[in-house]
Amino acid sequence: MRKIPYSTPGEILSEEFLQPLGISAYRLANDIGVPRIHIVEIVAGKRAITVDTGLRLSGYFGVNNDFWTGLQSDYEAARFTNGHHPWR
Mean pLDDT in consecutive groups of 10 residues from the start of the chain, 88 residues: 79 98 98 98 97 98 97 90 59
Range of the domain at 42: 9-76
What is the model's pLDDT at position 83? 64
Residue 87 located in a structural domain: no
What is the model's pLDDT at position 32? 98
What is the model's pLDDT at position 6? 82
Residue 25 located in a structural domain: yes
The number of folded domains in the chain is 1
What CATH number does the domain containing 52 carry?
1.10.260.40
The DSSP element (H or E) to which 43 belongs, if any, is: helix 36-43
Cβ-in-10-Å burial (0-12, 13-18, 19+) of 77 comes to exposed
